[in-house]
Amino acid sequence: MRTKTIVIILGMHRSGTSLSTQLINRFGAYIGEKKDLSPPSVYNADGNFENVKIVKLNNSFLKAYGHKWYSLGNFTYDFDDQRTSEYLYTLKKTLKEMLKNNDVIAIKDPRICLLLPLWQKTIDDLSLKAKYIYVVRNYMEVARSLQERNGFPIGYGLKLWGKYNLAVQEYLSDKNHLLLYYDDLMKNDAKDKIIYEYIFEKAYQKSNDGINVRKSGLRHWKTDNNDDGDNSVFARLYMCEIPTTDLLKLEYLFLPHKAVLFDIGDDNTGDLYIYGAGMRGREVSDYLESIGIAEYRFIDRDKTKRDKIINGHEIVSIDKVATRSRIIIAIENRTICEELMEILSEIEGVVVANYRNILKNE
C-alpha cells in the first residue's frame, strides 16, 4: 500500500502561511472542499486556506485547558486526560476523511505550532509520511499586522511571535523540514521548485500557479530601513544563538511583561477597572454596558475626578486596586502607561488589556 503524505504548514499568525498553503494547494495537495475552508476576509482576500473543522477542533482543545491562541503562557496538557483523548480521536477521524481519496493532504492552522506532539502521535498512528513547511516572517511585520488586525500592542505581538516560533523551532530541531522566509515567497517563484520537490519527491514542472497567488496587495506591512528586518536575526534565533528576550528589546513595549489578555466576562478572576476616565474610558464603559457587564470602577490619576460618577460607576485612586484585579488601559500616553505598569507590577496577580482589544471584541 502506498504511504500517504500529510503536509503541515507551520508558522506564527500573519507570517505567510496562507500564501504558502494556497501555493501548495495549487501544486496538487488536498486541503478540503471549498465549503470546508474559512471564507475570505479583509485581511486575507483569497481566504486563509484553513479547514474550519481543524480550526474549531484546535480552538476547542486550547479552551478546554484554559488557553487561547493569543495566550502568552506556556500551553500544557495531559496526554492521559480525557480531553486529550477526545481531541486525538476527532483529529484522527478528520484526517482519515481527508485521506480517503487523496494521497497528499495539506493542513494549515498556526495553532498547530502549540500542538505538535499530539499531531505527531496522530501522524504515527495513521502511518503517514510527514512533510513540515515552516514559514517565518519578520517579527516586526507580524507584530504590526497583529496590531492592525487584533489591536494587540507591539510588545504583545513580539512575544507571541517568539512563543510560536520557539515552539516550532524546538520541535523541528531533529526533524526533516523546509524553512521558508516570507520575503523570499513574496519576491518571485524561485522557491516553488524547492517546495514542490520537497513535498512530492519528483521533478517540478514550472507553471503560472505560483505567480497567480503572489499579489502585492497581500502585504499589509513591510519593515522600513530602520527596522532590523533581515532574516539574519531570525536565523540566529533559529540556531539558538540569541534568546527571545533580546528580540523584545528591539521595539518599545507599549505594555510590558504584565500585558496579558483576559476574558472581561469572567468575574472569577478579580475586580474589573477601567484606567482612564476620559474619552477612551467612556468608550470602554459604553461597550461593557452594551454586553451586560456592570460591575467595574474607573481609575484616574487626576485627583479632581475622584469620587465622581461615570455611567453610574465611581472613580477611585490606583491604591484601591487589590490583588488579582483586571484592568483595561484606556489611555494612549506612553509615558503614563509606562509609569502605570511600574506601579501595577508590584501588585500580585494583576492582569491588563489595552482598550483596543476590548473595543474590537477580540
Full residue range of the structural domain in which residue 303 is found: 272-359
For residue range 28-59, list pLDDT tens digits in order.
Answer: 999 999 888 887 766 666 777 899 999 999 99
- Mark whether 212 and 300 lie in a shared domain: no
Mean pLDDT throughout 116-143?
93
Which CA distances in Å does 114 have to 77, 96, 201? 11, 22, 28
- Residue 216 has a pLDDT of 45
Total structural domains within the chain? 2
**First CA to last CA distance, the chain:** 46
- Mark whether 210 and 302 lie in a shared domain: no
Cα–Cα distance, 160 to 179 (Å, whole number): 19
Arithmetic mean of pLDDT over the chain: 78
- Pick the last residue of a domain from 194, 216, 250: 250
- Residue 187 has a pLDDT of 76
Return the half-sphere exposure (C-beta side, CA atoms, 13 A cut-off) of residue 111.
Answer: 20
Q: Which residues pair with 352 in a beta bridge?
A: 327
- Residue 247 has a pLDDT of 39
- Pick the last residue of a domain from 190, 215, 250: 250
Task: Kindly report the CATH number assigned to the domain that includes residue 39.
Answer: 3.40.50
Q: Is residue 265 part of a domain?
A: no
Residue 246 — pLDDT band, cuts 50, 70, 90?
Answer: very low
- Mark whether 112 and 241 lie in a shared domain: yes
Mean pLDDT throughout 195-222?
68
Nearest-5° Cα angle at 312, 326 to 359? 50
Q: Above 70 in pLDDT, residue 121?
A: yes
Task: Kindly report the CATH number assigned to the domain that includes residue 306.
Answer: 3.40.50.720
Helix, strand or coil for residue 46?
coil
Cα–Cα distance, 87 to 61 (Å, whole number): 7
